[in-house]
Amino acid sequence: MRITLIAAQSLDGFITRHDQPGSDFASAEDRVFFCEALRGFDCCVMGATSYREARTTIQKNLIPERLRIVLTHNPEAFASDVVPGKLEFANTPPTSLVAGLAGRGHKACALLGGAQIHSLFLEAGLVDELWLTVEPLLFGTGTPLIGRRASIELALLSSQSLGPNTLLLKYRVKK
């Protein structure tokens, strides 16, 4: 299974502005890119905080072609949100989750955050590529792209201008 971490971040590496959850800071160009990019994935994984922030949008856009999995310490808290085959909740280590998804026939997974989820999958060696939209903003504080100390080497695959000031960088994780 191919796993691609997709995130928008400030130039100084934050995926949230200060203590505000979500990526409302992302440009219109990134939102267009993100929606188009998701079409290439048959499943998505995110953490509970990311889900709560986008809950309404996610629930409106559930399709059987793209299973969404929310990793949470307390899946029972989301029991009323479950839509089997479209929106599911799990408290499973990343390697087990990926094996289960592959066993269900999934081939391409978008890893959508947040920082702790990014870290768990990177530490497990499961991420194949990172697609980072860099927005021309400096926050100074916020949630970093990864939530723990790491040393991961990347190789630049491509760079693309999404707009006059927004850059998309695609990297391969060196394993």
- For the chain, domains (ranges, CATH) are 2-173 (3.40.430.10)
Contacts of 45 (CB under 8 A, 6+ apart): 68, 69, 70, 71, 97, 109, 110, 111, 112, 117, 121
- pLDDT category at 88 given cuts 50, 70, 90 is very high
pTM over 0.95: yes
* Banded pLDDT at 51 (limits 50, 70, 90): very high
Q: CA-to-CA distance for 92 and 133, rounded, in angstroms?
A: 28
User: Distances from the Cα of 108 to the Cαs of 65, 82, 116, in angstroms?
Assistant: 11, 21, 21
Query: What's the pLDDT score for residue 21?
Result: 87
Give the pLDDT confidence of 110-165 residue by residue, as tens digits. 999 999 999 999 999 999 999 999 999 999 999 999 999 999 999 999 999 999 99
Retrieve residue 5's tokens.
Answer: 């971490």
Model confidence at 16: pLDDT above 90 = yes
Q: How far is CA 120 from the centre of its chain?
A: 12
C-alpha–C-alpha distance, residues 108 and 79, integer Å: 26
Q: With pLDDT > 70 as the criterion, what percentage of the chain qualifies? A: 100
Residue 9 binned pLDDT confidence (cut-offs 50, 70, 90): very high
Which residues lie across from 159 on neighbouring strands?
A: 169
Q: Is the pLDDT of residue 11 over 90?
A: yes
pLDDT over threshold 90, residue 49: yes
Per-residue confidence (pLDDT) for residue 175, from 0 to 100: 87
Q: Which residues contact 6 (CB under 8 A, 6 or more apart)?
A: 34, 37, 110, 111, 112, 130, 131
